[in-house]
């Protein structure tokens, strides 16, 4: 980090500017203790690389008016990919989280990952073409997948929904196809990151509960995902909550798991058992929003089961915010209300007095936004920036 001895690197200066801690050269100098000549050299590097812009003027309290430094958000682009069981949402964003263009790709999560990634790379190139932006303007690609991701290797770790993807080098494969750095994370982590950064920047802790085909939780502590030692943090979908004859078989091989009893996919299956036409969590969400009595009843049951598990999480972490998202998060208040009631029933008032339980504000964009934040954090960290600016030796 920058210190008073004047050794701050260009990357560290960029962090000061990006975070808003330094708005002028004078403020950078005060925070870093750099000499005027060294600061001038570092600033020239950052401006030449297109990372920092100097614009406008502020009246300084003393001395001459100073030009304002800002991170060049518009010049830096990010590609986001949110992979689901049946389709992927793709988007081109700038570093200020503004979506420039979107696309959707049909995928089969059961197909070979190499084939799926080649298809996605093609669609990303097409997306850039439609937006008339060159590949060279893209800082990196963020990918969310419905699976635990071992973050150190960027590979899926025993994903029940997509078994063929276990330990597959997604970042390396897609990175080689596109010639760009690729960062992979669990989708609930990225949705939580998007929601936390864009909607609850002051909240020290947030749980993002993704309820769709399966169930997963993103745990965001002080603005960053807590991933756990093997990428399994928040993977609550396979906690067994129903026992005996009533327990349904789960894709993980066990029975009575939260995901197979309380997800949108589980409710769709129960509706089909009643002879109803409900193929997916999306169908369930639509039926609940329309007030279908059986779909509402099953969703209330799901909310109680989910609330039972979340009550433990709330007691463990005492979070500021619990967000209910994923496809079922858009079904109206039935799921949200039953989850909230159950959490309140099962925990002490101290744990919930300041707790805010809400539906996802970003909806289907949460994962796209989170992937964008992941890429910007990684590619514009002080270390990454300094590596890029270092002259090739």
Which 335-374 residues touch Zn ion, going by CB under 5 A? Answer: none
Residue (94 or 261) nearer to Zn ion, CB? 261
Question: For Zn ion, what does the binding mask look like between residues 215 and 244, x meaning CB under 5 A?
Answer: -----------------------x------
Within 136-165, the residues that bind Zn ion by CB under 5 A are none
Nearest-10 crossing angle of helices 382-389, 10-18: 130
Closest CA to 100 of 133, 67, 66: 133
* Segment contacting Zn ion by CB under 5 A, of 144-152, 249-257, 303-311, 352-360: 249-257
Min dist CB 257 to Zn ion, Å, is: 3
Tell me whether residue 102 or residue 164 sits nearer to Zn ion (CB atom): 164
d(CA 77, CA 99): 10
Among 77, 257, 314, 327, binds Zn ion (CB under 5 A): 257
Q: How far is the CB of 26 from Zn ion (least distance, A)?
A: 58
Q: Are strands 52-58 and 66-71 parallel, antiparallel or unpaired?
A: antiparallel
Helix (H) or strand (E) holding 235: none
3-state secondary structure of 141: strand
DSSP state of 392: P
| Interface segment toward Zn ion; rule CB under 5 A; list 27-35, 40-48, 145-153, 245-253 | 245-253
Nearer to Zn ion, 250 or 268 (CB): 250
Residues recorded for the chain: 393
Q: Which residue stretch of 175-183, 205-213, 250-258, 323-331 sits at the interface with Zn ion (rule: CB under 5 A)?
A: 250-258
Using the minimum distance from each CB to Zn ion, give the nearer residue, 186 or 205.
186
Place of tokens 């330990």: 167
Among 250, 262, 314, 328, binds Zn ion (CB under 5 A): 250
Cα angle value 170/171/173 (rounded, 5°): 65
DSSP bridge partners of 358? 323
Q: Nearest to residue 208, comparing CAs of 311, 329, 373? A: 329
Least CB distance from residue 127 to Zn ion, whole Å?
A: 35
Positions in the binding site for Zn ion (CB under 5 A): 238, 250, 252, 254, 257
């Amino acid at each position: 980090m920058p210190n008073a001895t004047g050794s701050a690197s260009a990357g560290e200066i960029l962090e000061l500017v990006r975070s808003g801690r330094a708005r002028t050269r004078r403020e950078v100098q005060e925070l870093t203790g750099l000499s005027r000549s060294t600061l001038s050299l570092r600033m020239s590097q950052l401006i030449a690389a297109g990372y920092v812009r100097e614009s406008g003027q502020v009246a300084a309290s003393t001395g001459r008016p100073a030009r304002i430094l800002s991170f060049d958000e518009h010049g830096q682009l990010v590609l986001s990919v949110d992979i689901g069981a049946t389709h992927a949402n793709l988007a081109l964003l700038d570093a200020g989280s503004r979506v420039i263009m979107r696309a959707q790709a049909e995928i089969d999560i059961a197909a070979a990952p190499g084939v799926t990634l080649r298809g996605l790379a093609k669609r990303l190139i097409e997306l850039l073409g439609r937006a008339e932006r060159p590949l060279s303007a893209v800082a990196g690609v963020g990918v969310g997948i419905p699976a635990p991701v071992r973050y150190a290797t960027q590979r899926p770790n025993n994903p029940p929904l997509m078994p063929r993807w276990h330990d597959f080098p997604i970042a390396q494969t897609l990175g080689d196809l596109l010639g760009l750095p690729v960062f992979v994370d669990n989708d609930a982590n990225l949705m939580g990151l998007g929601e936390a950064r864009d909607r609850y920047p002051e909240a020290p802790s947030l749980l993002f509960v993704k309820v769709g085909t399966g169930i997963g939780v993103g745990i965001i502590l002080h603005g960053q995902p807590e991933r756990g030692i093997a990428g399994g943090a928040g993977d609550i979908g396979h906690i067994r909550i129903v026992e005996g004859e009533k327990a349904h078989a789960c894709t993980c091989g066990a029975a009575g798991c939260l995901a197979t009893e309380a997800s949108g996919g589980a409710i769709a299956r129960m509706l089909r058992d009643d002879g109803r036409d409900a193929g997916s969590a999306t169908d369930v969400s639509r039926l609940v929003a329309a007030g279908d009595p059986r779909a509402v009843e099953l969703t209330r049951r799901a909310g109680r089961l989910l609330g039972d598990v979340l009550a433990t999480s709330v007691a463990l972490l005492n979070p500021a915010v619990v967000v209910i998202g994923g496809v079922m998060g858009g079904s109206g208040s039935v799921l949200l209300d039953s989850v909230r009631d159950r959490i309140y029933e099962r925990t002490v008032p101290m744990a919930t007095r300041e707790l805010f339980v809400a539906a996802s504000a970003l909806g289907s964009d949460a994962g796209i936004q989170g992937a964008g934040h992941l890429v910007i954090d990684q590619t514009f960290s002080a270390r990454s920036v300094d590596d890029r600016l270092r002259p090739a030796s």
